[in-house]
Amino acid sequence: MGKYTEDIYTLCPFYLKEASTRLICEGIPEGASNVTVFGNSLLKARHQSRYCRKDYSSCALCKALMNKYD
For position 56, what pLDDT does the model report? 97
Look at residue 3 and give its three-state secondary structure: coil
What was the pLDDT predicted at 8?
87
Owning domain of residue 14: 5-68
d(CA 48, CA 31): 23
State the total domains in the chain: 1
Q: What local confidence, expressed as pLDDT, does residue 1 receive?
A: 47
What residues of the chain score a pLDDT lower than 50? 1
What's the confidence (pLDDT) of residue 7? Answer: 79
